[in-house]
Amino acid sequence: MMKIAIAACKLLRAALKKLGRGSSLPGAVALKICPGALGRLRIDCPVVAVTGSNGKTGTTELINRLALEAGLKTVCNSEGSNQIEGVAACLLGACDLSGRIDAGAVILESDERFCQYTFKELIPTATVVGNLFRDQLTRNGHSEFVAKELKKGLRPGTLPVLNADDPLVTSLGEGFQRVLSFGVSPAALSEPEDASHAYFDGAFCPRCGGRMSYRSHLFAHLGDYSCASCGFCRPAPTHEVTAIEDGAITVDGRYTIALSQRDMMHAQNLAAAFTVAVEVLGIEPERAAAILGGIELKNSMVARVSSYSALGRELTFMLCKHENSMAYNETIASILRGATPDGVSLLIIVDKLSRKYSASDMSWLWDLDLHRLGEPLVGRVVFSGGFAHDLCSRALLAGVPADRILVQPDIEKATSLILEHGRGDLFALTCFTDAPKLRESIRRLSKNGRK
């Protein structure tokens, strides 16, 4: 059945490719034919799984491109889904009919909750866990639930590569004899992070429940933590960023990596990729650092930014993710960090929460750092989409002055408002579910002129 499953997968992939569609369907069909197909693959090279709430696509791309440029032939699910069907489509599409994969490294992005299914029979050589944030709580419940589900996917035989700065992620290493870790040293921080956030998930120890203290914060609940009750604390990372300056990071005090984007999460992702390269793929550290410094990511914060012109103004669109407060909070923080004295104005659109499920829960709006829209550099704020009124109410309760807020549920009219009344640099924030509506609005406004 294995050969039939592989053949079916390859045929379907080829057919769908001709139609211009990438899909997990071939994997789903193959797994129907041969449910244990993943465990029957013959893979003689390291298999690296990458998972976590935010940044796993970027980290997967970093590791894949690093391996490629180091001369390794790779197999990576960079274009498909990150659930078991997508991984199956990728691997069965890449193997020969005997199930053998001819590669120097296999790099697989995986949904956090699906690791337990994807890696049931196929045990990765190493599993990178980047972070665990509040993400799609409608689907995922909460971070502790996700951590518990993810732990089921960390089976004996895999080598956990964990973010030392995230206490919940670090706690996943309990029970393993050997764990690798990466992080950003507190010494690398030139200035303390603004700790004013809508919520904080690091107050209590994930191991014993005792109250934790932090010597320094990176962002959200990531930082240098310790629990006085049980001694749980940030481990000394296998490799860590020891300096961030002049557009570059230094790893382990010796290896310099140029930064293509200046956000802390990217620094963390680079540290993760460096650790995998050196410890799992056997690439020399100097070489790994040199290659990483030259990678411009397709899936990066920079790539998630696009600029548009309409009604004589420039509008910068920054792709976020609904129900993921970290995505919005980090985007708002980066806009404010880069604001000029002319200030910034923002259009925030929340219309449809998900393409996959129907939900109307707006609890996550209370996890957004909307209070930051009350800072002096913010000129005008326009809220749009079906949740415009909820956003407005939440922002007012967070202390944003009423005279800088406009509410317009209609996305095209709202886009027109920000273009006409926005002060300073203009930004639009929304999720990929609502992005087409924004792009269409801009297109129509550009074509038709002033509304």
The yes or no reply on residue 176 touching another protein (CB under 8 A) is no
Nearest approach in angstroms of CB 399 to another protein is 10
Count of CB atoms within 10 A of residue 36's CB?
13
Task: Supply 353's token pair.
Answer: 């929460």
Between 42 and 139, CB nearer to another protein: 139
The yes or no reply on residue 243 touching another protein (CB under 8 A) is no
The yes or no reply on residue 133 touching another protein (CB under 8 A) is no
C-alpha neighbours within 13 Å on the C-beta side of residue 290: 7
Which member of 132, 169, 267, 365 binds another protein (CB under 8 A)? 365
Nearest approach in angstroms of CB 147 to another protein is 10
Question: Segment 373-412, which members bind another protein (CB under 8 A)?
Answer: 386-387, 389-390, 392-394, 396-397, 402, 407
| Angstrom distance (rounded) from CA 365 to CA 47 | 38
Mark 351-371 as b/e (b = at least 16 C-beta within 10 Å): bbbeeeeeeeebebbebbbbb
Which member of 330, 367, 412, 425 binds another protein (CB under 8 A)? 367
Q: How many residues bind another protein (CB under 8 A)?
A: 36
Question: Segment 203-232, which members bind another protein (CB under 8 A)?
Answer: 203-204, 209, 211
Nearest approach in angstroms of CB 398 to another protein is 8
DSSP H or E segment with residue 150? helix 143-153
Task: Supply 398's token pair.
Answer: 């967070």
Nearest approach in angstroms of CB 144 to another protein is 4
The yes or no reply on residue 145 touching another protein (CB under 8 A) is yes
Residues 6+ apart with CB under 8 A from 11: 26
For 420, counting Cβ atoms within 10 Å of its Cβ (0-12 exposed, 13-18 middle, 19+ buried), the class is: middle
The yes or no reply on residue 175 touching another protein (CB under 8 A) is no
DSSP H or E segment with residue 224? strand 222-227
Between 260 and 354, CB nearer to another protein: 354
Nearest approach in angstroms of CB 174 to another protein is 15
Which member of 38, 49, 137, 283 binds another protein (CB under 8 A)? 137
Largest CA distance in the chain: 68
The yes or no reply on residue 371 touching another protein (CB under 8 A) is no
Between 119 and 387, CB nearer to another protein: 387
Q: Let me know: does 137 contact 323? Beta carbons within 8 Å.
A: yes
Q: Let me know: does 70 contact 277? Beta carbons within 8 Å.
A: yes
Nearest approach in angstroms of CB 379 to another protein is 19
Between 4 and 208, CB nearer to another protein: 208
Which member of 3, 100, 142, 443 binds another protein (CB under 8 A)? 142
Give, rounded to a whole angstrom, the gap between the first and last alpha carbons of the chain. Answer: 61
180, β-bridge pairs = 161
47, β-bridge pairs = 106
Which member of 98, 213, 309, 363 binds another protein (CB under 8 A)? 363
The yes or no reply on residue 361 touching another protein (CB under 8 A) is yes
| Angstrom distance (rounded) from CA 205 to CA 35 | 39
Angle of CA points 392, 398, 404, to nearest 5°: 50
Interface residue list for another protein (CB under 8 A): 137-139, 141-145, 198-200, 203-204, 209, 211, 358-367, 386-387, 389-390, 392-394, 396-397, 402, 407
